[in-house]
Amino acid sequence: MNAPLPPRCALGPPMPLPATSEAELHAMRRRAWREQGIVTLSVGAIDDPWLRQAIINEARRLYGDTSVRMR
């Protein structure tokens, strides 16, 4: 069977995007918080065990379990 050919572009093959740096991620998180009231947290960065577990519980309730192992 003949599969259709992928679309061609005069500009050449797509270039892979560079990995996002920690500074860029921080800037995106800050902007999301300031402009939309959305907070993104790394569970590993939360030192208080009670608060960390409360956030994990709420995330599991909203989104289901994760494949990332928590400390």
pLDDT given at position 40:
92
Token code pair at residue 48: 């208080």
* Angle at CA of residue 52, ends 51 and 54, nearest 5°: 65
* Residue 1 pLDDT: 66
Dihedral sign (CA 5, 17, 70, 29) = negative
For the chain, the domains span 22-63
* pLDDT tens per residue across span 16-31: 888 999 999 999 999 9
Q: CA-CA distance, 56 to 40, in Å (whole number)?
A: 12
| pLDDT > 70 fraction of the chain, expressed in percent and rounded | 96
**This model's pTM is above 0.85:** no
CA 29 – CA 38 distance, rounded (Å): 8
Q: Two tokens at 3? A: 């599969």
Per-residue confidence (pLDDT) for residue 4, from 0 to 100: 86
One-letter amino acid for residue 27 of the chain: A
pLDDT of residue 55: 95
